[in-house]
């Protein structure tokens, strides 16, 4: 009977140890995921700005080309 209690106690300690390790791992993964999401949000914002600036550049180039006088041979 005492042996069974000791075995149960060891199993409980083992399970508690695994649970603590898993909790720590989950917390680390959560932190990593949070940082990755922040980086992704930042990159998406930067891409939006780059696309907007490129569109502005294209529009300004088209406008400046249409305002240019034709070459002298016309």
Residue 64: predicted pLDDT: 77
Residue 70: predicted pLDDT: 66
* Residue pLDDT, tens place only, 35-73: 999 999 999 999 999 999 999 999 888 877 766 666 677
Cα dihedral across residues 9, 14, 15, 17: positive or negative: positive
* Residue pLDDT, tens place only, 11-44: 999 999 999 999 999 999 999 999 999 999 999 9
| Domain positions in the chain | 33-60
Structure tokens at 54: 């490129």
Residue 55: predicted pLDDT: 93
Residue 62: predicted pLDDT: 82
CA-based Rg of the chain, rounded to a whole angstrom?
32
Q: Give the H/E segment covering residue 60.
A: helix 2-67
């Amino acid at each position: 009977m005492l042996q069974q209690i000791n075995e149960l106690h060891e199993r409980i300690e083992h399970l508690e140890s695994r649970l603590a390790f898993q909790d720590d791992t989950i917390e680390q993964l959560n932190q990593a995921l949070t940082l990755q999401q922040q980086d992704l949000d930042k990159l998406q914002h930067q891409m939006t700005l780059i696309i907007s600036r490129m569109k502005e550049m294209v529009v300004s180039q088209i406008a400046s080309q249409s305002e240019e006088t034709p070459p002298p041979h016309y």
